[in-house]
Amino acid sequence: MEPRVSLITLGVADLERSYRFYREGLGLPTTRRPAQGIVFFQTSGAVLALFPFEDLAEDVGAGWNVPRSKFTGITLAHNVRERSEVDQVLALAAAAGAQIVKPAGETSWGGYSGYFGDPDGYLWEVAWGAFDFNRDGSLKVT
Amino acid sequence: MEPRVSLITLGVADLERSYRFYREGLGLPTTRRPAQGIVFFQTSGAVLALFPFEDLAEDVGAGWNVPRSKFTGITLAHNVRERSEVDQVLALAAAAGAQIVKPAGETSWGGYSGYFGDPDGYLWEVAWGAFDFNRDGSLKVT
């Protein structure tokens, strides 16, 4: 098994709303449109997919279309190269309608980060510090 | 904002158990050990992190340490280059203790896939078909 996360799919309540948030608000690239039923964003490394919540639950199988709780147990992170970009990205997300769940601040691990919730409340940490970057922007962990 | 998912963090009930599953069971590379409190796996593109559920909730803020529901609304996918690898990876996961949530089968989009749940029930789809690969193993979506 090659070590790889190919795709992260978020089950969303309103595909059009989430598309606008990620495409127009955050500027993630895609050639897809919500009318196609699923939207894929090409990001470096993993692809981010938006798919209606019910459809995603149904794809897993019968019995999975149950209400989510407030905290999924999963967070995504967008790490930035410069500390000032944390504030910029959080401001961009807020302008696109995200809820700032945790304002940017110093972290226990010596970095600087904050969290926003996307239109469905999926959590993204925007973080700077602690990691080295590979040339393509992915993190180098050792 | 560069289009990038840097990190996917799973809040786990038992860090040692999840470490064994991903490190020894699936063979994901890491130099970290559970005693360090967080484990990072270098995968192509996004880093997969394991962090105790309570610690992750606390990192987000007060009021987030609430029970998860069965379906988080988020799925991860591991896409393979050859159809036969779907069965191989699902068998590997099952041997490591994963629950096979959906046995491999033909999909509506012309591929072949199945789902497993990791020790905390986080869902991974193992899938073949529909996508082209970049040389590094990441998916090319258009």
Kindly report, residue by residue over B61-85, the tens digit of the pLDDT: 999 999 999 999 999 999 999 999 9
Q: List pLDDT tens digits, range B89-98.
A: 999 999 999 9
Q: Cβ–Cβ of A66/B68 closer than 8 Å? A: no
Rounded-to-integer distance, Cα A98 and Cα A88, Å: 13
Angstrom distance (rounded) from CA A1 to CA A8: 18
Q: CA nearest B67: which of A28, A67, A78, A125?
A: A67
Query: Which amino acid is residue A97, in one-letter code?
Result: G
Q: Quick check: A72 and B70 CB within 8 A?
A: no
The runs of H, that is alpha helices, within A9-82 are 15-19, 53-60
List the single residue in B45, B57, B65 with the smallest CB-CB distance to A44: B45
pLDDT tens digits for range A68-89? 999 999 999 999 999 999 999 9
A131: distance to nearest CA of chain B, Å?
Answer: 10
Candidates A3, A6, A60; nearest CB to B79: A6
- In the predicted structure, residue B142 carries a pLDDT above the cut 80: no
Residue of A nearest to B74 (CA): A10
How confident is the model over A40-62, as pLDDT tens digits?
999 887 999 999 999 999 999 99
